[in-house]
Chain A
């Protein structure tokens, strides 16, 4: 399209057209509900109670929440960095049998619902958990359980973001430094680390963002003494019913997340600076020497102990009754907890997640298409960061916002099933954009032009040039959207109809009921959910379109 007359005008018009759908989607299903709930809290008796912001900030317990939120996010990020850097190196640079499998396994936690992760860690470090049985060690209701679970969750985010780039860095640069007499440490520090810097910063910022807004993990593992901003928003809205305090906290989180995202966008741009990149397939070598073997062993041990053990304990607990009793109980209609057999939640969840994936693909795909061009203006770039906001804005706020904003014609969706997929799609869109964008940007428009010159019809150009390149990315994006939709909890818990629970909602409700059987069923449902997510992810891994720098 750049070869046409007045290309700027045309492409701008096209881009505006493309952006119309995502903009409308975010305005209707994100900005409007969030504004409505914040307004309900701060706009009373016809005036804006902006003085509440100062009042809330003056409270010592709120300041404590702010401090703890930041502190635990920083420590979680530092720990993830510490554990993740060797992992990134090993997966990027060492070639060993089972590398693909281990990499795939290490990625599973990120797509797991927080409810499942919380349950798994309870089974590991909670009362009567594995560590308790073995050594009498309990970590639940301590900050360590929270930190461990955060590292568990974000390990793959970091390893993928950094490892993706690391694998593409030309190893000959470091080798050249060695030839010139630098020690291995010095060569790494002065050659590789500066090149990795922006990727490390981007990865760390994503981890910081995810842990700063942590909800399910802190809620399940933290106990009453620990509260992050997100948990406090939930408590203030849902339990204490102090909507104005909740609104102020929502705004604070909004500003903080916005700042983190702005810094992240800046590091992403820096990362697009010229680095000497090579095909990732040629940079990995068999491990040599004690250091590399030690690193490999350490990373394998980390994956096994930190990532696999909690999940294994979860599966074991779900089988801890004769004859798959917990699984069989899922199919029985107890008439109490759900009005339907809990197993129905699987069907509901899959349907919702498919619908959410379709919405996320359409909205995210169009947004990515609009953002494709590198010369995109500042406005469009701003939109890029804006698309990430749903990841950082309180899901609780969004859920309640849906309830009070989307309840009047022409948008009376409250009793409609579509409400749940819409909320889930909000968290799916950022992933779709992140995955599609690099692929779309990499597609050489000269290929299309060449095909057109050789006489291909527009349809044929799209089918034979664009589609093959984008297809795999589309599938991967669909898979990620599917997995995060399946696991979405914070917003869904407020808007899922009680007779149509999703898997995470059903797990949480089972955990909240007394008795062995309910606990066992929660473990069993969590296991099923974990398997569904893991299978989705492993299928995606086999579709990976080569190695490329990934944001997640």
Chain B
């Protein structure tokens, strides 16, 4: 008898506890909702970065406190935002790029908002010009980087184009990322598809595979372990002098080096670039839409745009925003990068990645 009572009592306590936990959980959520009008929440990927002083200046002038949720890498952050769109985690999402844009737009992730200052943003970056559901914030180029020391030691001209990469002189030199899991990996695949067309890219990749291309899961591993030209890769004993990275990687090698070298240890193969543009948008069902709008205005303001290059290694889209000297010297944006219409990317991306996976990985 005592036993039964004890157990029933314990059950009651247990039930009560779960109930209390649930209650305190929901009241937590409620607080944030109602107190949200002075707080604006930005959801982004892990690469988000801004100087504290610049953000503080925005907070002071606008009166909003900015809360930032960094939510995995670019692809994961977009997917998670799409999954939670009915009840979003924040007000603004930053970090969807042209390769994933259709996924965000087709799923109704964003509501239209024409940002103040959009006129100052180059029209070539505006990929949703009619509805303005997204606002371009930055761009970058995914390009093959080369290790200058390796090529001068071996008296070899660095490759300059996609075609060069399949030549026997460059056999077993290139490391790239998994197009299914990595944003530069996908960009490089799209670059080859833009260059060789819907039917030609598979042949190109067959040649690349025969020429000994190595595929790893992510940029970090490719650039900081396998690549022989980066400071991380040198330390890790990287053996590949060619890597798929960004046009802005060489300046990073200069800025982070101690002591600073006279010139960048790496260079960019000009003819292998694919243009990537990143966007921000006001989330559908944002709790603080007014604050979100102010935040988007801020993202294309000159202050943020000039602060951005050294924090996220991307180029500004707002006209007149200055780039740091290291950028113009060692890592200018590509002159004639490959590009692709987002609608075309949307139609083909998943199928291409699938064929690429079975062609290159299996």
B50-85 CB mask vs A (1 if < 8 Å, else 0) is: 001000000000000001111111011001101110
Complex Cα spacing A260 to B130, Å: 55
Question: Which B residues touch A11, using CB under 8 A?
Answer: 4
Contact A498 B7 (CB under 8 A): no
Known: A128-B236, A239-B180. A513 touches B220 (CB 8 A): yes
Most buried by A among B13, B18, B46, B216: B18
Contact between B8 and A14, CB atoms less than 8 A apart: yes
In angstroms, Cα B82 to Cα A5, docked, is: 59
Given contacts A24-B18, A418-B21, A516-B235, contact A494 B4 (CB under 8 A): no
B215 within 8 A of A: yes
Contact status B15-A448, CB under 8 Å:
no
Q: Do B237 and A369 have beta carbons less than 8 Å apart?
A: no
CB distance from B357 to the nearest CB of A (A): 7
B: interface residue count bin? 35 or more
Main SS of the interface on chain B?
A: helix
Q: Among B22-30, B292-300, B301-309, B319-327, which stretch is in contact with chain A?
A: B22-30
Chain A, residue nearest B217 (CB): A224
Given contacts A362-B14, A410-B26, contact A512 B218 (CB under 8 A): yes
- Known A-B contacts A17-B7, A17-B11, A414-B29; the reply to A458 vs B2 at CB < 8 A is yes
CB of A131 within 8 Å of the partner chain = no
Query: Besides A21-B15, A413-B22, 11 other CB < 8 A contacts?
Result: A24-B15, A128-B235, A223-B216, A224-B181, A238-B80, A240-B180, A359-B17, A411-B25, A414-B87, A497-B69, A498-B68
Known: A224-B361, A413-B22, A418-B21. A18 touches B11 (CB 8 A): yes
Q: Assess the A4–B1 pair: CB atoms within 8 A.
A: yes
| Contact pick for A18, options B5, B7, B220, B238, CB 8 Å | B7
Residues of B within 8 A of A132 (CB): 237
Complex Cα–Cα for A461 and B7 (A): 14
17 contacts between A and B (CB under 8 A): A18-B11, A20-B15, A40-B83, A61-B362, A224-B178, A225-B361, A339-B68, A369-B10, A403-B80, A404-B84, A407-B87, A414-B89, A417-B28, A461-B2, A498-B71, A512-B46, A515-B256
Contacts of B338 in A (CB 8 A): none
- Residues A409 and B26 in contact, CB atoms below 8 Å apart: yes
Complexed CA–CA distance, A498 and B237 (Å): 33
Q: A25-B18, A224-B216, A237-B79 are in contact. Are A515 and B224 (CB under 8 A)?
A: yes
Residue of A nearest to B87 (CB): A407
**Residues 66-117 (chain B) with a chain A CB within 8 angstroms:** 67-73, 75-76, 79-80, 82-84, 86-87, 89, 103
Instruction: State whether B18 touches A21 (Cβ < 8 A).
Output: yes
Complex Cα spacing A536 to B89, Å: 35
B61 to chain A, nearest CB (A): 20
- Distance (whole angstroms) from the CB of A399 to the closest CB of chain B: 10
* Cβ contact within 8 Å between B5 and A458: yes
Asked if A366 contacts B10 (CB within 8 A), the reply is: yes
Q: How far is the CA of A408 from the CA of B87 in the complex (A)?
A: 8
A410 CA to B30 CA, complexed, in Å: 11
B81 to chain A, nearest CB (A): 11
User: At the interface, yes or no: B260 with Cβ under 8 Å from chain A?
Assistant: no
The reply on B278 being an interface residue by CB < 8 A is no
Which residues of the partner chain A approach B357 to less than 8 Å between Cβ atoms? 61
Q: Which residue, of A224, A412, A414, has the highest number of chain B Cβ atoms within 10 A?
A: A224
A419 at interface by CB-CB < 8 Å: yes
**Distance between Cα atoms of A448 and B7 in the complex (Å):** 15
A400 within 8 A of B: yes
Assembled-state Cα–Cα distance A365/B86 (Å): 37
User: When chains A and B are docked, how far (Å) is the Cα of A316 from the Cα of B79?
Assistant: 38
Contacts of A422 in B (CB 8 A): 21
B87: chain A residues within 8 A (beta carbon):
407-408, 412, 414
Q: Please, what's the 1-or-0 string for A226-252, where 1 marks a CB less than 8 Å from any CB in chain B?
A: 000000000101111110000000000
